[in-house]
Amino acid sequence: MRAGRQTLHAVFRSGPGGRLGAEGVCLDAALAQAGAGTPAYVYSSRAVVERFAALQEALAGTGHLVAAALKANALPALLTPLRDLGAGVEAVSAAELLVAHGLGFRGDRIVMSGVGKTPVDLETALDLGVRFVSVESRGELELLNRLALRRGRRARALLRLNPEVDAATHPKIATGTRTAKFGMAAADLLALASGARDWRGVEILGVHAHVGSQIRELATLARSAERLGTVFAALRAAGLPVRVVDVGGGLGIPQRDGEEDTPMSVYAARVLGTLREVLDRECPDADPTVVFEPGRALFGPAGALVVRVLHTKRTGTREFCVVDGGMNDFLRPALYGAWHRVAPVEPRPGPERRFDVVGGVCESGDAFARDRALPPPEPGDLLAVLDAGAYGYSMASNVNLRPRPAEVVIRDGTAVLARPAETPADLAARELGAQPAGIPA
């Protein structure tokens, strides 16, 4: 993106004066309205709602649940509008379950997954009466059975399939390959389901798979749906009364100029169509409820991390733009080498030069962008790191004892502070509070 040129981003576009904003509110105005400094995440609530509604609409006519993956974004201000539109949530820890419950998601709208659920996670799921727990191993099913019996309950479970699908994405976020830690091989899953059909503490409702994240090839997601259909049909053939297929999340978003967004209708049609084809062949009378667990596709494009330029400097052959955010605020570039657009909030005239846009954490990996052409920024300028609405704040940390940033939501053309930034004093107090009694200060 170049200074003064209209950006083509689906959510954050240049408005009056060429400044970057969403819903008609410039990002600098959003921070001012919300009383937030930098760094701060700014989201468009409308964008999240529209993306969710598009998926809901595409699934009309099919029994379904769209369960937003909380691990991507658990900001209450973004979730409550989804709740009101009929969304569910996918949770992977006791705390995520409690957040969902606290936000008023009913148990039948909460689904739980995760490869290493602890007894506390499972007990919380049982106590909240979640719709189902996706179980990843025999040991976990046994544990769930025991915990449910102890409570005089029968837990509802899906079995997570490892569909052995290689997703063309970053290896750290591919989860459906044969060597991944997730799920069970089809044969093991079928054996477990048959063996467990009479356990009194669990009822097996169906099958689940999730093959990875930021998947841009629909064929990959379709292949997973096909494998799920085959295993679902095999369970039916074995006489199990299964009735749910959970296709997971994984739909990718465009991150570079010129890449196209995948319409939710196209995504849904491809996944449902593939599943239906298998079922029509193998068990035509089956009409399972289909669960989708989108994370990135709902939240990613709807959020930007806004940072302020502290200094520019040159060392050796490189020019650096040092900003007040860092990998503690937004980890994806450092962890996955993820490429995110970085755009000046206010266009600055002048020929572009190449910069490494870096944060202040004491690690060389702490860079938002490398060798990126930018109109030369000045100290005090705001830059936006785009497509940061998913796995942004949720992966933020306090490394170097840096406070986590503020979160601002633009809704109906007004920006509000949805979560204040932590402060250095907050963090210092927490650290000092950890001092064991009796050790002199």
Nearer to ligand LLP, 31 or 251 (CB): 251
**Cα 138 from Cα 81, distance rounded (Å):** 37
Nearer to ligand LLP, 93 or 214 (CB): 214
Q: Which of 26, 283, 321, 362 is catalytic?
A: 362
- Min dist. Cβ of residue 244 to ligand LLP (A): 14
Residues numbered 6-65 forming contacts with ligand LLP, rule: CB under 6 A: none
∠221-138-169 over CA atoms, to 5°?
25
- Min dist. Cβ of residue 249 to ligand LLP (A): 3
Q: Is 68 helix (H, G, I), strand (E, B) or coil?
A: strand
**Cα 364 from Cα 207, distance rounded (Å):** 43
Size of the site for ligand LLP (CB under 6 A): 23
Closest CA to 109 of 71, 68, 74: 68
**Over the Cα atoms of the chain, what is R_g?**
23
Q: Is 60 helix (H, G, I), strand (E, B) or coil?
A: coil
Alpha helices of 85-237 — where are they, by DSSP H? Answer: 94-102, 119-128, 138-150, 186-195, 218-237
Closest CA to 225 of 233, 236, 214: 233
Nearer to ligand LLP, 292 or 355 (CB): 292
Nearer to ligand LLP, 23 or 293 (CB): 293
Residues 79 and 43 sit within 8 Å (Cβ to Cβ): no
User: Exactly one of 213, 230, 262, 274 binds ligand LLP (CB under 6 A); which one?
Assistant: 213
* Residue whose token pair is 């239906």: 276
- Min dist. Cβ of residue 265 to ligand LLP (A): 17
User: Exactly one of 176, 183, 229, 248 binds ligand LLP (CB under 6 A); which one?
Assistant: 248
Is 362 among the residues known to form the active site?
Answer: yes
Among 95-103, 231-239, 273-281, 288-296, the segment contacting ligand LLP (CB under 6 A): 288-296
Residues numbered 94-123 forming contacts with ligand LLP, rule: CB under 6 A: 113
Nearer to ligand LLP, 45 or 93 (CB): 93
**Cα 115 from Cα 252, distance rounded (Å):** 22
The answer to whether the Cα torsion of 79, 98, 101, 90 is positive or negative is positive
173 binds ligand LLP per the rule CB under 6 A: yes
159 binds ligand LLP per the rule CB under 6 A: no
User: Exactly one of 23, 96, 293, 324 binds ligand LLP (CB under 6 A); which one?
Assistant: 293
**Cα 318 → chain centroid:** 34
359 binds ligand LLP per the rule CB under 6 A: no
Residues 203 and 126 sit within 8 Å (Cβ to Cβ): no
136 binds ligand LLP per the rule CB under 6 A: no
The residues that touch ligand LLP, with contacts defined as CB under 6 A, are: 69, 71-72, 90, 113, 173, 210, 213-214, 248-251, 293-297, 332, 336, 390-391, 395
